[in-house]
Amino acid sequence: MTNLAKYLDIKPEVKEALDAGRPVVALESTILSHGMPYPENLGFAARVEQVVRDNGAVPATMAIIGGKLKVGLGEEDLKVMCEAHGVGKVSRRDVPVYIANGHNGATTVATTMLMADMAGIRVFATGGIGGVHRHGEVTMDVSADLQELAHTSVAVVCAGAKQILDIGRTLEYLETMGVPVLGMGTDEFPAFYCRRSGHKLDYACSGPAEAAAILRAKWELGLTGGVLIANPIPEQYGLDFDKMEGVIQTALDAADAAGVHGKDITPFLLAKVKDLTGGESLASNIELALNNAACAAQIAVSLANNA
């Protein structure tokens, strides 16, 4: 028997919007604590929430602070997550430990989906999802994001999967688990920094209204689980796929040499890629995340208007 009220702390603005049936968009905090340096991440946190507001929805950035599942953060909470002192990276398996011990944790895609579902938020904007890591067929290194997408009824708007992953196997896994993958104005799955990956999609959406209609049909039919909405990085900020492949291979070699694995591998690789691209990848990361926030808000508005 669940006792969510004991653990779930919903920001008043977010609760009022949910109670009134107004659109809300969930945002993760791992991108703040483990994906960007301070104080740039604090500026980004304000920008991404403003983009959601500008597109007609209420932002709800997620985090675990002081043993509470926080749905929507105030200025002080955002600062705690951005300064990131003692802030862990929390996936589904870690949630009860952080809650019981009163630790602070940044939410991954999986945990943000989990908390959004608890709060009744159906649309979530992130940068890129986790997936099957390269050589995952040997290491069994598969992100918990994929299982969460299979079982938790939240739509995730992203710029595809990070290019450090095995994108083909990630898409195969999602197909096996029955997760619809929709391309936003594209029939090719994007690769985070890059608009194209070489992997075709079965479904291309014409825009947010069509995506919302698909979400509504899925959930009204009682088909539980998430939907992945792949929204390519804006063309002017996209990086060259072949060039990035070389950069990522260098980063992977560095991770092997350093013995980095498990939940530490993604932050290590993203930091290495940032260094190898002279910061160009960080600039692209910011722009794709803002683009996804706008798209998610538009989908949330359409979903709310036709509820």
Which residues are catalytic, by number?
A: 28, 162
Q: What is the DSSP letter of 307?
A: -
Report the DSSP beta bridge partners of residue 155.
123, 227
160 alpha-carbon distance from chain centroid: 10
- CA dist 72 and 240 (Å) reads 35
Per the structure block, which two tokens stand in for 28? 């993760």
Helix (H) or strand (E) holding 7, with range, is helix 4-7
* Cβ neighbour number for residue 108 with a 10 Å cutoff: 29
Pairing between strand 181-184 and 203-205? parallel
Whether the Cβ atoms of residue 169 and residue 136 lie closer than 8 Å to each other: yes
Q: Please return the burial class of 280, using the count of CB atoms within 10 Å of its CB with bins 0-12, 13-18 and 19+.
A: middle
DSSP characters for 139-185? H--B-HHHHHHHHS--EEEESBB-TTB-HHHHHHHHHHTT--EEEES
Q: CA 132, CA 145: separation in Å to the nearest integer?
A: 10
Tell how strand 58-65 and strand 24-27 pair up. parallel
Q: Which amino acid is at 124?
A: F
Termini Cα distance of the chain = 29
